[in-house]
Amino acid sequence: MCANERLHGSARGAPGNWRPYRNSPGGITAPGSRLTTVNLSYIVYKMSKRDYLGEFEHIVLLAVLRLGREAYGVTVRQEIEARTGREVCIGAVYATLDRLEAKGYVQSRAGDPTPQRGGRSKRFFNITGRGAAAVNRTQQALRSMIKGLDFVARYS
């Protein structure tokens, strides 16, 4: 039974295969039933948020790990481009860093203002324990999916 059926009830899972008929001041009346009040209890399973990182989130977190305390948008972008050969839009990097911060996977801090930046400060990022755990979960899932596949023989 899916979560929607658990939430709203279904003919398959409801006792006696009845569905709620109408609301009455005393409760819910089942059609053809002598009962005037029925108390229903449902157990609703809350789906957890996706535990695995998307590809770009994964790459950005790995770049933050590599850069350590020097990780800010521009250096993250440069690290990704140098290591993957993939051109990356700075806006995508900042949007991803903001999303990762909202999830609690990175923390940001303001650096010292510099004259080269017109007195503005850089926003540096570092990975949190939750972020490291997310990287580990994603890495493990990828290793598990790859295990037993013979890439070289198949696709060379």
Q: pLDDT 10s digit of each residue in the chain, 156 long? A: 444 444 444 444 444 554 555 555 555 555 665 655 555 555 544 435 557 899 999 999 999 999 999 999 999 999 999 999 999 999 999 999 999 999 999 999 988 877 777 778 889 999 999 999 999 999 999 999 888 887 655 665
How far apart, in whole angstroms, are the C-alpha atoms of residue 119 and residue 32? 76
| pTM over the 0.85 mark | no
Domain range annotation of the chain: 1-47, 55-150
- Distance from chain centroid for Cα 79: 23
Terminal-to-terminal C-alpha distance of the chain: 44
Domain 55-150 has CATH 2.40.50.140: no
